[in-house]
Structure 1
Amino acid sequence: MERTFVKDWRGVHKAALALILRCIADHGSPPSPAELQVATAAPSAETVQHMLQEMESRGLIFRDPGSGSILAAYPLSAVPTPHRVRLADGRQVQAMCAVDALGVALVFGQDTHISSRCRHCRADIEVSVVGERIGAYSPASAVVWYTPAAVHCAVAAEGQCPYINFFCSREHVKDWKRDLSAPRGQILPLERALDRARAVFNPMKGLGGGPS
């Protein structure tokens, strides 16, 4: 996941993204444009819309092409996904992909427990991130299939994220790839998948705020 969307962001983007993440985590939905205007001290509603367009172009957020509603603010999704994450403070969120699910612990500065399913057989997969390391997980053979952004022409939410999933074993990744025209990628042990999450989300550490 080679997104570098936070490399040169401005303070206004940071304030806006922090509010969006907190609202999704607290309420399951993003803030209103009016709330964003207050949080960023934007002079007008038009300025807020321009800011959202710029954030989307950088890959910080993903919006519905028709309504303009915010559907995701990385690493969180405002709509249901297969990757449910419970924060240590009890809040529950949805992540865009397996690597994003692992990155939630970094962005919110607290331990997490991930509940997902094998992309091939739909068996339950449970993974804990404790102290920014992989904790307990099951099954013991669980891995992540990772496909790089360079493989896709679409934005990450549509082209990359749907393919970055948990699998209960390497064998099930291979079976899935045989059954489907899957894009190029690699199998990652969970700790290496967390390393990918660190590469993306370390610049955002604590942005979602600590335990509520």
Structure 2
Amino acid sequence: MHVEMLTVPDCPNGPVLRERLILALAGRTDVKLTEHVVDDQAEAERRGMHGSPTLLVDGHDPFAAPGTAASVSCRLYRGTDGRVGGAPSVAELRRVLGTPATGVANRAAGRSGQGRLAPIEGGLRAVQQAVLRSFATTGAPPGQAELEAAAEPFAVPAARVLAELATEDFLTLDDTGRIRAAYPFSATATEHVVQIADGPTVWSMCAIDALGIPVMLGADAVITSTDPVTGDPVRVEFTGGKTTWQPATAVVYYGTRPDTGPAAAVCCDYLSFFTDRATAEQATGQHADISGAVLDQTEAERLGADIFGPLLAAPAP
């Protein structure tokens, strides 16, 4: 099967569709995924692009009504629940791609495919980015004064913004309202340790979050973790845009429990590094209530980059 993504330059919904495709295609080995940037009407007509982003499956657009004209305009999709968005949902992608649902794609690392970049409105993105920058530079969440400074241009209290960010699962708070985690960072120790070059040592919420940190920061880093089955170490080194995995057979399992709630509660404990596919499958076989997929190194790196790469690249208002 050949799956193509067609987008105009700098399409804001391109990364959203890419992230959802990665989740929808996790574990598939029979699919070739390519991407093309289309910048004029003639090419849109030649390639069969019906707005940006367009998905083609073996040359056919499964979401376009018959007779839809080619276009380089922004495209919107209406889901089965009636909601309109910039890309099909993971469930809808699985349907047109013939991929069985695993439950993983409907969960957490990407907020059910909605992405982790908070909206600009109401100071959400400004405060989110202030939190992320603090973790990246100090290894800890920002103080109250820094949070208020980020929220002040929007004339809303920082506590209100934090509460909304928590409700939408961009971060988690403890019972006192203090930041416990801001994906990809954790304020408390986890098994996933990321040493940022020329920066602090931080903890990530899960394996995918760890892989997203160097890309988000545009920095070299060393990730160290442990195979939950064997106790053996797993190390991923980012240097100059290249990665080295030790052992070379290491993989990531992307799993979730069939519960509702934030990512921290339903899946972060099941997104782990393993020394090889056999240990990943052994671990998941011990938990009948966990569903998911084993991701190879390329799939895991790409998912981390797609989810977290844009978080600080987008300008704060």
- Asked if these proteins are the same fold (TM beyond 0.5), I'd say yes
Unaligned 5+ segments in structure 1 are: 208-212
**Cα distance between partner residues in 2 of 1:24 and 1:156:** 19
**Cα distance between partner residues in 2 of 1:196 and 1:203:** 12
Following superposition, the deviation at residue 168 of structure 1 comes to 0.5
Contact persistence 1:85–1:114 (CA under 8 A): yes
Residues 1:6 and 1:43: Cα distance change in structure 2 (over 3 Å): closer
Quick one: which of 125, 140, 147 aligns to 2:248? 140
Is 1:192 the equivalent of 2:299?
A: yes
Which segment drifts farther, 187-196 or 96-105? 187-196
Is 1:61 the equivalent of 2:171?
A: yes
Quick one: which of 218, 222, 225 aligns to 1:109? 218
Contact persistence 1:114–1:128 (CA under 8 A): yes
Contact persistence 2:130–2:147 (CA under 8 A): yes
Residues 1:147 and 1:9: Cα distance change in structure 2 (over 3 Å): farther
Unaligned 5+ segments in structure 2 are: 1-108
Amino acid at match of 1:68: G
**Cα distance between partner residues in 2 of 1:182 and 1:111:** 37
What is the CA deviation profile of residues 42-93 of structure 1, one whole-angstrom value per residue up to 9, with x for unaligned ones?
Answer: 577x7211111111122211111x2221011111111101000111214211
Aligned 1:11-160 pairs, distance under 5 A = 12-41=123-152, 47-64=157-174, 66-133=175-242, 135-147=243-255, 151-160=258-267
**Cα distance between partner residues in 1 of 2:116 and 2:246:** 32
**Cα distance between partner residues in 2 of 1:60 and 1:113:** 24
**Cα distance between partner residues in 2 of 1:205 and 1:130:** 20
What is the CA deviation profile of residues 9-29 of structure 1, one whole-angstrom value per residue up to 9, with x for unaligned ones?
Answer: 437222212221232233332
Report which of the two has the higher share of helix: 1
CA RMSD of aligned residues (A): 2.4
Matched residues, percent identical?
31
What is the CA deviation profile of residues 114-143 of structure 1, one whole-angstrom value per residue up to 9, with x for unaligned ones?
Answer: 00000211111100123444x111111100
Residues 1:100 and 1:117: Cα distance change in structure 2 (over 3 Å): same
Please, what TM-score do these two structures have when normalized by structure 1?
0.86
**Cα distance between partner residues in 2 of 1:129 and 1:91:** 15
Which segment drifts farther, 68-77 or 24-33? 24-33
Contact persistence 2:259–2:266 (CA under 8 A): yes
Which segment drifts farther, 67-76 or 24-33? 24-33
**Cα distance between partner residues in 1 of 2:159 and 2:286:** 42
Contact persistence 1:109–1:206 (CA under 8 A): no
Aligned residues: 204
Amino acid at match of 1:196: L
Residues 1:15 and 1:7: Cα distance change in structure 2 (over 3 Å): closer
**Cα distance between partner residues in 1 of 2:197 and 2:135:** 16
